[in-house]
Every structure is written in C-alpha cells, then in structure tokens.
C-alpha cells in the first residue's frame, strides 16, 4: 500500500484516523478489539496458522490489547493505535509475511538493548556493539548477500549458490533509526524509552516507515509522551499531504513517462537531444517523487500531532554539489554526519583525515542506495566532485552564481544518470548518446524524435522547473489560509485521485532503496 493509492486515501487513512481520534474508553475498547481481530485474521490467513496454540497466542494478544486500551492514558492509547495500525499498513506492502516478524523482532530487541545500555555500568560498549551488529547483519544479509556472493564467484572463479533474496521493504530506513536510537542512548543524548508501545510507535510510525524521512528518537521523544492536537495542525497536515500528493502524481509520475518511453525504445535508437531530455526528465521525476513522499509523510505526521523533520530544501537551486547534498534527503545526510563522519573524527584531525572520512561516508552512501556497482561508482564520483569543490572550485562557483547554476545544470542530471542505469554497458551507450562526437556503433532511427516527445512532455518540464524554485512556496505562505488556496488544493487532490483511478500511478522510486 502506498500513500498515492485510492485504498490508502479512502480506506486505510479514514479508518486509522477514526480509531486514532477515539477518546472515550468504550470507543477505544471497540477499536482495539476490532483492530486486533482484523490484524490477527490477516496474519493467520496469510501464514496459514491454524494450530490451537497459535490461536491461543492470538487470543492472548487480543486480551492484552484490550487491557491496554482500558488501563492507559489517551496518549498511550494513540501510540498503541499507531503501533498496531502501522504494522497492519506494513503488512500490505511486505513481500513475505515472515518479514513482519523480523520487523517486530528488531523493534523488541532494540528496545531491550536500549534498556541494557542505559542501566549497565561496565558493558555499555558491548551492548552497543551487539545492537549495531544485530541491526546491520540483517541489512547486509538481505541487501548485499547476493551481491557479495556474485562478486566472489566472479573474482575467485567459485560456484557459490546465489540465493534470490527479496529485500524487506523499508529495512534500510528502520535499521538506521534503530541504530541511531541505541547510539544516542549510549552517548547520553537520549533516555532509553521505558514503554515498548511508545518505542514501537516511534519505529513503526507508518508515515515514515517505508521511505523516511529518517527520524531520530530525540526528535520525537517528547511528542511520544505529550503532544498537542488541534484543528489547525490537522488542516496544515492535510494541505501538506495534498501538495506532496500533487508532486508525486501530477508531476513525478507524468514526467517519468518520458524516461520509461526512452527505456522501451532502447538507448541505441534515440537522438542526442532526446537523451538529454531523458536525463532531465529522470532528474525531475526522482526529485518530485521523493520530495512528494516526504511532504505526504510530514503532513500525516502533523495530523497525528508530530513534527517530522524536513527532507528537502529546494536542492536544484544549489550552486555546488556540496550545497546540493545539504539540501537533498537532509535526514540521511544528517544521519551519516552524526553517526559515521563525526565519530570517525570529521575534519578535526587534518585534511587527510577529512578526505578519508568523506570517502568512507560517500562509499557507504552509494552502497546504502543499492547493492550494485553503479551505486558504488555514483558515490565515488560524488566524493571526487565534492572534494574538488572543497579544495578548488567551490569558492568560485559560490561567488559567481550564474556559473554555479550552469555547472549544476549539467552535473545534477549526469550524476543521476549513473544512479539510474545499473548496467555499465547500457550506461556507456547512454553517455555516448549525450555526447554525439564520441564514436557511435549505432545511430538514432529518427534524429528529430525529441520534437514528438517535447510536444508531449513540455508542460511537465515547465511544472518541474517552476516547482523546483522557491516561488510557489513563497506564494503559498502568503496565501495559505485564503479560499483561493483551498480551491487550488482541492483541484490538485481530485486531479490526483482521477489520475490514480485511471491507473496513472507508479510505486515510489525510493521504496527499492
């Protein structure tokens, strides 16, 4: 289930919010009982569990939830609904039912490890090491095991079995949140959470569970125990959600059609001008897809009383790649800075140490996005570009803004091309298409093919360009509470719903990372 789906908008979200808003205990009892039965039915139906002890275990869980609904405060009840509802939400998207148990196991174990780290006098480092090892073991196994085995077979001429391992959705994100939690408890930055329900609500919170933003525990610790709800927050949340939905459905999905068309045609058969249109289309698609998801997540968080962190700050207005990565996927950049770069020494131990630490961060950044050599190359290319800017070109690019914008106009799509195409042979063909003066084995079937596609997609390029700037945000802030803005957002919402009804929708691109 994704946010930009009719099932989520018209079934899951209304049901969840009704349950979440229930205040009287008798309403809570009904909600918890009905939700537990539904969750159990779905789980047992999927797994085929029918043994008496399994049914008894489920009955015990229902009674436990029923008791919690009666014995907890309203905020604890809401956290219970978040935890339960988010697990149900996750179950609709997970590829294998056993991955639900893996998610619950990692949540429980990190909750326990956090307690041991805080209460232990002499074994804090040992518990931290165990927790980090446990979390990253699962990420390495599911995300990199096949990749590593294939490369060992190739390098050492072995014949090790390569298992077709399906990556659990969201594992990269919830692994980072679990690790940041136990690390913060170890450093004394956060107190260990005493309630498993609260910790489960933090990790599983469905707005950010699948694709971020990456939320550290200290960012929401107070809100987990005491948060204020208001109609103003609900209204702001709905507006933010609608803007994100429009970004995803009306811009990203539509302009992404050009990249899909080019992939179907074949890179060998397109002209140089269409190749450039293609990588600009992919750049806009990736931005509005991920930024749209982040805005929807932030909007849903506001409706529930949480202030989730911003994840994008108009990155395509940057003058350097260094600035770009301070504005793009900001929570991921902050995570790498706080939990890898700074612990390694940051820039405190001289230039050579800074270069080494930056190299490690970008190597991990590339690998985090995918188990493929193109992501490793992508991370190393970004490392070289950023180091070049820090040592030589950055000052000039920041000083002469037109030069900086022109530079980024070329660098952004070229680096995204390495990100987009996993096959090096196909990547080489596309680069040759971009630079027609290089030797070509084949030539475009139609040299003026770009005219046809520009005629189809120009309006989406225009929308992408406008909404990449700060102008729409400035206008929105000035007119946020006007009837005109409400009408525009209603139009965006129903236009998005119409596109989803017509099947003009795609899964979020970052789900696979």
Count of CA atoms in the C-beta half-sphere (13 A) of 374 = 16
Is residue 247 within 8 Å of residue 292, measured between CB atoms?
Answer: yes
**CA atoms of 380 and 367, how far apart (whole Å):** 10
Count of CA atoms in the C-beta half-sphere (13 A) of 265 = 22
- How is residue 96 written in tokens? 């294998």
At residue 63, the pLDDT reads 54
At residue 61, the pLDDT reads 58
Instruction: For 412-446, write each residue's pLDDT tens digit.
Output: 999 999 999 999 999 999 998 898 777 776 666 66
- How is residue 34 written in tokens? 């009905």
Buried b (16+ CB within 10 A) or exposed e, 292-330: bbbbbbbbbbbbbbbebbebbeebbebbbbbbbbebbbb
What residues are labeled active site? 369
Contacts of 31 (CB under 8 A, 6+ apart): 18, 19, 22, 69, 81
Q: Tell me the mean pLDDT per 10 residues along the chain, length 513.
A: 85 86 60 60 54 53 56 78 86 77 92 93 92 93 84 77 76 93 94 92 90 88 88 92 95 94 90 94 96 95 93 96 96 94 89 94 92 93 96 94 96 96 92 81 72 94 96 92 92 92 67 54
Contacts of 62 (CB under 8 A, 6+ apart): 33, 36, 37, 40
Q: What is the 3-state secondary structure (H, E, C) of 368-379?
A: HHCCCHHHHHHH
Contacts of 401 (CB under 8 A, 6+ apart): 319
Give residue 113's region: left, alpha or beta (phi > 0; psi -120 to 50): alpha
At residue 84, the pLDDT reads 84
263 CB neighbour count, 10 Å cutoff: 14
Q: Is the dihedral of CA 194, 196, 201, 203 positive or negative?
A: positive
Is residue 308 within 8 Å of residue 208, measured between CB atoms?
Answer: yes
* Radius of gyration from C-alpha coordinates of the chain: 24
At residue 98, the pLDDT reads 79
Instruction: For 475-511, write each residue's pLDDT tens digit.
Output: 999 998 899 999 999 999 999 999 988 876 666 555 5
At residue 56, the pLDDT reads 54
At residue 53, the pLDDT reads 47
Question: What are the distances in angstroms from CA 318 to CA 124, 178, 322, 397?
Answer: 42, 32, 8, 10
């Amino acid at each position: 289930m994704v946010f930009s789906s009719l099932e989520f908008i018209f079934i899951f979200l209304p049901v969840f919010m009704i349950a979440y808003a229930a205040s009287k205990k008798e309403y809570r009892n009904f909600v918890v009982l009905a939700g537990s039965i539904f969750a159990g039915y779905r789980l047992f139906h999927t797994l085929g569990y029918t043994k008496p002890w399994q049914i008894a275990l489920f009955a015990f869980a229902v009674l436990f939830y029923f008791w919690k609904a009666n014995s907890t405060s309203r905020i604890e009840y809401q956290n219970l609904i978040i935890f339960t509802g988010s697990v149900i939400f996750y179950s609709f998207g997970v590829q294998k039912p056993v991955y639900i148990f893996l998610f619950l196991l990692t949540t429980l174990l990190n909750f326990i490890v956090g307690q041991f780290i805080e209460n232990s006098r002499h074994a804090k480092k040992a518990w931290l090491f165990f927790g980090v090892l446990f979390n990253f073991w699962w990420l390495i196994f599911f995300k990199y095991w096949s990749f590593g085995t294939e490369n060992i077979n190739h390098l050492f001429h072995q014949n090790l079995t390569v298992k077709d391992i399906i990556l659990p959705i969201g594992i990269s994100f919830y692994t980072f949140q679990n690790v940041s939690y136990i690390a913060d408890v170890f450093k004394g930055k956060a107190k260990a959470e005493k309630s498993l329900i609260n910790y489960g609500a933090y990790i599983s919170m469905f707005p950010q569970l699948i694709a971020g933003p990456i939320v550290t525990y200290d960012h929401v610790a107070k809100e987990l125990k005491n948060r204020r709800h208001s109609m103003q927050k609900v209204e702001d949340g709905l507006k933010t959600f609608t803007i994100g939905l429009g970004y995803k459905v009306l811009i990203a999905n539509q302009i992404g059609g050009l990249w899909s068309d080019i992939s179907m045609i074949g890179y060998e058969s397109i002209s140089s001008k269409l190749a450039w249109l293609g990588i600009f289309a992919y750049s806009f698609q990736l931005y509005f897809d991920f930024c749209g998801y982040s805005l929807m997540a932030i909007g849903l968080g506001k409706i529930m009383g949480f202030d989730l962190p911003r994840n994008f700050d108009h990155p395509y207005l940057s003058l350097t790649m260094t600035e770009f990565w301070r504005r793009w996927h900001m929570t991921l950049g902050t995570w790498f800075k706080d939990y890898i770069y700074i612990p390694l020494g940051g820039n405190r131990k001289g230039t050579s140490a800074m270069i080494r630490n930056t190299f490690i961060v970008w190597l991990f950044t590339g690998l985090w996005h995918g188990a493929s050599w193109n992501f490793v190359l992508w991370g190393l290319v970004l490392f070289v570009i950023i180091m070049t800017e820090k040592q030589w070109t950055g000052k000039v690019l920041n000083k002469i803004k037109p030069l900086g914008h022109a530079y980024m106009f070329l660098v952004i799509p070229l680096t995204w091309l390495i990100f987009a195409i996993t096959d090096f042979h196909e990547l080489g063909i596309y680069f040759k298409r971009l630079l027609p003066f290089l030797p070509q084995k084949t030539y475009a079937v139609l040299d003026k093919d770009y005219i046809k596609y520009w005629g189809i997609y120009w309006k989406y390029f225009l929308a992408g360009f406008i909404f990449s700037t700060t102008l729409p945000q400035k206008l929105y802030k000035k007119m946020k509470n006007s009837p005109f803005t409400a009408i525009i957002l209603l139009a965006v919402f129903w236009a998005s719903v119409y596109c989803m009804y017509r099947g003009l929708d795609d899964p979020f691109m970052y789900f696979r990372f």
